[in-house]
Amino acid sequence: MVVEKLMQYRELGKTGLKLSSLSFGASSLGGVFADIVESEGIRTVQVAVDHGINLLDVSPYYGLTKAETVLGKALKNIPRDKYILSTKVGRYGSDFKDFDFSAGRVTRSVDESLARLNVDHIDIILCHDIEFGDLAQIINQTLPALRKLQQTGKVKYVGISGLPIKPLKYVVEQAPVDVVLSYCHYELNDTALLDLLPTLEKKGVGIINASPLGMGLLSTRPLPSWHPAPTKLREAAAKAAELCAHRGTPIEKLAVQFAVANPQITTTLVGTADPNIMLQNIATVDEPMDEQLLMEVSEILRPVHNMTWVSGHAENN
């Protein structure tokens, strides 16, 4: 209960929603990073909500619908007014052929997600990883289709997500968007998201930050084999993690504290299917950040600052 009292809440653009500064990323429930025990995953969701986290973010892509299915089981035991639910449309696999942003497909996708999640409405619906799509189609077909669903009450707010900053900025400037979810661009080694914030603030668009650990890059665990980070970035991150471990502060802790500390970032998603790790993340937010350690880690990461990788179509990077 003490943690819940200390949780900060920030407004999400012009939506009127107030989100906890730390939110729950449910990709972990799909076994994206490691195999999970379903009952533990369900308990993790309950623990998060019980301790003041109110945004739960998922996608049909995570675990190929598994994450939505497991989250749906967890939500059966949680009052609907206790959480804000975000899911996505357009991405259903890892290959280009698995993306479909057509009006018909995204409309069906929302109904499929509603069924898996056991809810009658979704608070935030996001076009998933728009850099893999045709931006003209997303502006002229996908977003208008989601706005029609907004009129039915099935979704409340409409947004976009992706890795490269360029297409996010382009779409926000061309079409009405309520929310942007950006990942791997506001973390210890990468603050490129800051370049997008003035545009979002001018337009009144809310911002959700995801992957403060760089999809496992800023971690003491071995990096997943699929991780797209270039070698130089991997090596620098490993060196930074080693320094943190030597100082007795896991780099994961510093990374979460760094992301949440910026009041311009409404919320930061963290994912785990372990209730104990969830509690650790929540407690971390209220602890003072080691500024000296942050300075030394930043110095190690300076040569690779904002180094990223190509995602989606080349012209969108």
Please name the residues in contact with 73: beta carbons below 8 A apart, sequence gap of 6 or more. Answer: 38, 42, 118
Please name the residues in contact with 250: beta carbons below 8 A apart, sequence gap of 6 or more. Answer: 220, 244
SS3 159: strand
DSSP letter for each residue of 241-258: HHHHHHHT--HHHHHHHH
Told to judge if 170 belongs to the known catalytic residues of this protein, a careful annotator would answer no
Please name the residues in contact with 309: beta carbons below 8 A apart, sequence gap of 6 or more. Answer: 228, 229, 230
Radius of gyration of the CA atoms of the chain, in A: 18
Q: How far apart are CA 281 and CA 272, in angstroms?
A: 10
Catalytic residue among 9, 61, 62, 157: 62
Task: Give the residue numbers annotated as catalytic, written as ranges.
Answer: 62
